[in-house]
Chains A and B, each alone.
Chain A
Amino acid sequence: MIEFDKFTLDNGLKVIVHKDTTTPLAAVNIIYNIGAKDEDPEQTGFAHLFEHLMFGGSVNIPNYDEPLQQVGGDNNAWTSNDVTNYYLTVPKENLETGFWLESDRMLSLAFTEKSLEVQKAVVIEEFKQHYFNQPYGDVWLHLRPLAYKKHPYQWSTIGKCLEHIENAQLQDVKDFFFHHYAPNNAVLVVAGNVETDEVKQLAEKWFGPIERREVAERNLPIEPKQTEFRSLHLERDVPYDAIYMTFHMGSRNGKDFYKVDLLSDILSNGQSSRIFQTLIKEKNLFSSIDAYLTGDFEPGLFVISGKLTEGVSMEGAEIAIWEVLDEVCATKANDYELQKVKNKIESSLVFSEISFLNKAMNIAQHAITGQAEDINLEVEKYNKVTTDDLQAMAQEILIKKNCSTLYYHAKKQ
C-alpha cells in the first residue's frame, strides 16, 4: 500500500506527495500528457526531440543542469508514445531547487537556435546509435507500420526517419510547447523524505503563478480492426534469423489488461514459463525468445520476439511458436500455473517499491491516465483473473488474423 496526499492548484496542476522517510533524498517527477502519438505524421520524433530541448535552458535560467548538480542533484527524462516524463532527485534539504528549475521550464523555454541545432544533431546520433549501428536495431521501425495502418503508434518515439528531425524549425518548437506543455496537462509527484505542507507551499510558490493554457485537443485516428494475417520479410547483415510477431490487444487502462498481462507471463515470465521451457530448453529452437506487452495507453500490442538457433528454419520456428499459442487457446492453464504468475506479479510490485523514485514515476503514470489511487488496486485486479479469463483472452488475441509477423533473415555470407 502506497500512501499519498494529493491536491490541485488553481491552474490545474495536479500534485501528489508520497512520504518515505527511509531515504535522505527527494524526487520531483513531472509527467506531461504528450507523447509521440500526438505528432504530425510528417513531423515525427518531435515529442522526443522536444524532451532534449527542455534541457537547453528556460526563460529565466540559462542552464538547467548546473544549478541542480551544484546542490547534489541529478536528473533525466524519457519519452514514450503516450507521455513525456521528467525526473530529478536531490538531497531533501535542497528540494526547493527542484521546484525552481521545473517550474521555470514549465513557464517557458529559452528557445535558442543554438540549442535546437545541437540537439537535432544529438538526436540524429542517438537514432544512428540505437537503430542503425546495432544488429537487429531497425526492427521496430518496420514492425510498427506493419501492425498499425492508421494509428500514430505506427512510428517510434525516435521518429520515422532522420529527415523529420533534420527539418524541425524553431517556430514548430515554440508551437509545440505552448500547445502541450501546461500546468493543466501535467502531474507533479514529489516523493521521498518530504512533508505535504512543505510541498504545498513550494508548489503554490513556484508553479502557482503559471497560467493555465489552451491544450490541443487530442483526436487520434482509430486503428481499424485487423482482419487478416500480415507479414514482412527483411534481409540484414546479422548472424542469425529472428522472428517478431505482434497481436492487437486493449489499452493499459482497459478491463482486460490484467488478464492479458498474466497470459503473457504464463508464456514468458521467468525460466519456468512455457515459451522458455518448450522452445529454448526442450526443443532448442531459439537462443532467446520473449513475449511481452507494450502496455500502451491506447490499444497496444502483445509481442513475441525470438532469435532462432543456428540451423533452425524460419518455418519450423514459426510453427513451434504457433503450437505453444494454440495450446494456450485450446486448453485451460492449471491453477498452480496461474497462482505462480500472480505471486510473481505481487513480488515484482513489492521489489519495485524499494525505490522512492520508482514509486514517484509509477504514481505519476497512474495519475496521468486515471487516478493515482489505482496504483494500490493493481494486486487485487491481478488476483481476480481466472484460468477461464486467460483462455478467453488467448482465443481472442493470439490468433492468426490478428497477427503481424516480421521475418528478419540473416543475409547469407
Chain B
Amino acid sequence: MEKLNRNLPPQFKTIEHVDIPKSKQQVLSNKIPIHIISGGSQDVLKIELIFNAGLWYQKSPLVAGTCNAMLNEGTENYTAAELAKKFDFYGAYISYNNSQHDASICLYTLNKYLNETMDLLEEIIKRPVFPEKEFKTILSNKKQNYLVNREKANALAKEKFNSLVYGDTHPYANIFEAKAFDDVQLEDIKKFYKDFYTSDNCRIIVSGKMDESVITKIEDRFGTASWNTKASIVDTKHQLINSTEKKVFVHKKDAVQSSIRIGRPLFNKTHKDFAGIMLLNLVLGGYFGSRLMQNIREDKGYTYGINSLLLSHLKSGHFAIITEVGTDVCDAAMSEIYKEIKRLREELIPEEELNLVKNFFSGEMLRSFDSPFALSESLKGNLPFGFDNSYYETFLQKIKETSSEKIMELANAYFKEEDLYEVVVGEIKA
C-alpha cells in the first residue's frame, strides 16, 4: 500500500456554478402574487404572507411591530388562549416578523394538518380583534425586554451607530425611548391593521413538499375575493441624515469589555459595485479566515469574535465592523482594525487569498440555498428589490470575475478613513 502523505491536501473541485432551484410565480384570483418553491425531503410546508407594513409606514414608534405581534392575540372566533392551544395541538409554529419595510406572518406546518392550520392562519390574518388586556400585557413585557437589552453594551453600540448613519428619526435606525411603550394607543394599532393588512398589499411565498392542492387551499382562503378595506398606500417619505459627528464614546459603568462598531452608510445590493464590496467585506471580516478575525482574535487574542457585514435596505444600506474586546486592549484593537482597512487601500490582495475567498463564498451559496425554506428566506429578501433568486447566479459570476485591482480601487473609493463612523461603548474612552 502506498504510504499516506498527510502533508498534502487531497485533490478538490472548485464550484463553478451553483444550481439554484427556480421559484414559480402565479397570481391568485384577487391578484395576490404567490411564489412557489417546491421540494424537500420532509412532509412539511412554510407559508408566509408578507405585507408592506413595516416600520417605514408607522406614524409613531412600536405601532407596526405591536400590530404584527398581536394578530394571534384573539380573533372574532377564538381567544388568544384558544388559538395558542390549537396551533400547539397541530404541532404548528407561527412566527411574526417585523422589519423596516415588510411585516409578515409565517406558518410552519406538517402537511397532514394543513387544512386545520390554514384555517387558523386565515383567522388571524383576516379577523384579529386586538383585545385591550393582551395589548397591555404585550407592551409591558416588550418594555421590560427593551430595558434589559439596554443593559448590553452591544445593543447601545448598535443604536448609537444606527443613529449616526441614518439619523435618529429614520426607520432604519428605529430609535425610541422607554416612554414610547406607555404612549402607544390601541386605536393606532387597529387603524394600522386596517390600512396595511389587506389583500392588495400582500404577497405570499409557499415552500416545501407540495402538489397543486396546496395552491388551491391557499386560493380558497386568501385568493377568491379581496379582503379588508381597499388600501391606498402612499409611500411615506423619510429623510436620511448622516451625522457630521463621526466618533462617539458612550460610557457604560463597570463594563469589562468595550463594544466597538466602525462603519459607514453605503449603497444596497442593486448598486453596480455591490459584488466587489461583498468580496472586500469578506476579505476584511466576513468569514472566520478573514483578516480581522485572524489578526485580532487568532493572533492577538483581543476578542472572542470580530466580524464585518453589509446590510442592504431597500433605499440605503450600511457597512459595519462589530466586536467586543477587553477594556485594556480596546486601543490596540482599534488601531489594528484601522491598520487592516488601510492595508486594503494600499496593497493588492494576493491571488491565493482572493481565490480562497471566492471558493469559500461559492460553498456559502450552496449552504444558503440548501432547503426550500432557505430558498424562501432569500427570495423574501430579494422580492422588494425586484429580483428573484436567479439574482445570485449572476452575482456569483460577478464575484468570480472581480480582480484584486478592482477591490483595491473600491477600498480607496469607499473605505477612506475619514468616511468611517466609530462608536465605542465601555468603561474607558479609547
Contacts and interface: CB of A to CB of B under 8 A. Distances in A.
Bind each other: yes
Nearest to A350: B42
A100 interface: yes
Given A100-B6, A354-B373, A133 B255 contact: yes
B103 interface: no
A119 interface: yes
Interface in B344-374: 355-357, 359-360, 362-364, 366-367, 370-371, 373
A121 B301 contact: yes
Interface string B138-180: 0011001101100111000000000000000000000000000
B251 interface: no
B413 interface: no
Kindly state the interface size class of chain A when it binds its partner: 35 or more
A240 B144 contact: yes
Contacts of A99: 10
Interface stretch (B53-61, B82-90, B220-228): B82-90
A302 to B, nearest CB: 20
Contacts of B254: 237
12 contacts: A20-B41, A65-B289, A99-B10, A122-B298, A128-B326, A270-B84, A288-B145, A343-B88, A343-B89, A350-B110, A354-B371, A355-B370
Given A74-B288, A91-B13, A354-B44, 7 more contacts: A22-B41, A69-B360, A93-B12, A97-B9, A209-B4, A271-B84, A347-B90
B80 interface: yes
B384 interface: no
Contact of B15 (A66, A72, A133, A239): A72
Nearest to B361: A72
B334 to A, nearest CB: 15
A281 B362 CA distance: 47
A132 B91 contact: no
A66 B89 contact: no
B266 interface: no
Contacts of A280: 137, 141
A200 interface: no
Interface in B72-120: 80-81, 84-85, 87-93, 108, 110
User: What 9 A-B pairs have minimum CB-CB distances, sorted nearest first?
Assistant: A72-B363, A347-B91, A121-B301, A271-B84, A272-B84, A60-B6, A126-B304, A287-B144, A96-B10
Contacts of A97: 9-10, 12
A235 interface: no
Given A69-B356, A74-B367, A351-B42, A272 B81 contact: yes
Given A133-B256, A343-B89, A288 B141 contact: yes
A341 B89 CA distance: 7
Nearest to A284: B137
Given A25-B370, A125-B257, A129-B324, A346 B304 contact: no
B89 A336 contact: yes
Contact of B108 (A93, A351, A355): A351
B148 A307 contact: yes
Nearest to B146: A239
A25 B302 CA distance: 34
B212 interface: no
B325 interface: yes
Contacts of B405: none
Interface in B271-288: 287-288
B287 A122 contact: no
B338 to A, nearest CB: 20
A71 B12 contact: yes
B304 A125 contact: yes
Contacts of A238: 148, 151
B301 A307 contact: no
B144 A343 contact: no
Q: Is the interface of B mostly helix, strand, loop or mixed?
A: mixed
Contacts of B19: 24
B65 interface: no
B297 interface: yes
B7 interface: yes
B10 A72 contact: no
A135 B40 CA distance: 40
B44 A125 contact: no
Given A281-B81, A288-B141, A25 B367 contact: yes
Nearest to A276: B84
Nearest to A94: B12
B372 to A, nearest CB: 9
B245 interface: no
Interface in B324-351: 324-326
A67 B287 CA distance: 14
Nearest to A206: B4
Contacts of A310: 140, 144
B43 interface: yes
Given A60-B7, A97-B12, A128-B256, A270 B363 contact: no
A239 B144 contact: yes
Interface string B274-318: 000000000000011100000001111111100000000000000
Contacts of B134: 281
B365 to A, nearest CB: 9
B88 A344 contact: yes
A61 interface: yes
Nearest to A348: B91
